[in-house]
Amino acid sequence: MPKMDQREKIEVNTFNWGPCLVKLKIAEEFRKLLLSEGEASKEDYESKLAGQLHKEIGFRNQAVLVPWLSNYVGIYDKAFQSYQAKPYKKKPEYLISALWINYQRQFDFNPPHDHDGKLSFVIYCQIPEELKKENKEYKGRSGGPGGIQFIYGEGIRDAITYQSHFPEEGDMFIFPAWLKHWVSPFKSDCTRISVSGNIHDSVAFNNIDKTMNKGK
């Protein structure tokens, strides 16, 4: 269980860019918990997602992960208010609506896509040494093999901009769910493991549920 006073000790980076994109470092205890819970989970998420990955699995027991995730989303909220230079009129209430683990292998990729909900996130749990070496030797200008790319400004002339990152183990990116992004393939014979999730505004999500139930 995370301690709330750990918030002040967490490394947080907010990028000076259009959308509020935040990178922070999760606790090692939580990284190991995500890996162990992922290994114990069986729900196939592949049909629900855009990725062309070896395996995408929904977590069997989200309850043990939610306190940690709530802590990190709270950090994003604080960073977002600072980024916007104004406080919330009403503090949002969030609900984690989807949570899954990704196993990316040689030549797998995730095409450009966005997510449902208010916010989305990705956590990097395992980055093999072979992939680190391949990325370091890459000479291109993008995030490189196994990197994540964010794109903003489509449809606005001369306004498209990119953020490219090659993550380290323990990195967590939190961003608006509508922000388009993709994951590059790699040639190394290894497995990279990440965890992704979607977060809804709980009030809006509950209203959606009520609307759907009326039609039943």
pLDDT tens-digit profile of 86-130?
777 777 788 888 899 999 999 998 888 999 899 999 999 999 999
Please report the pLDDT score of residue 18 as a whole number: 83
Task: Match domain 4-214 to its CATH number in 3.90.1170.50, 2.60.120.620, 3.30.230.10, 3.40.50.300.
Answer: 2.60.120.620
Please report the pLDDT score of residue 159 as a whole number: 62
Please report the pLDDT score of residue 91 as a whole number: 73
Please report the pLDDT score of residue 209 as a whole number: 40
Please report the pLDDT score of residue 48 as a whole number: 61
- What are the phi and psi torsion angles at 173 (to 5°)? -105, 130
179-191, pLDDT tens digit by residue? 999 999 999 999 9
Please report the pLDDT score of residue 208 as a whole number: 40
Tokens 């997510």, residue located: 115
Please report the pLDDT score of residue 36 as a whole number: 96
Tokens 């919330």, residue located: 88
Please report the pLDDT score of residue 160 as a whole number: 66
Task: State the Cα–Cα distance between residues 207 and 33, nearest whole angstrom.
Answer: 33
Spell out the residues 6+ positions from residue 62 whose beta carbon is closer than 8 angstroms to its own: 96, 99
Which parts of the chain sit beneath pLDDT 70? Answer: 1-9, 45-52, 155-160, 203-216
68: tokens are 């940690």
Nearest CA among 10, 25, 7, 2 for reference residue 125: 25
Q: What is the pTM of this model?
A: 0.85
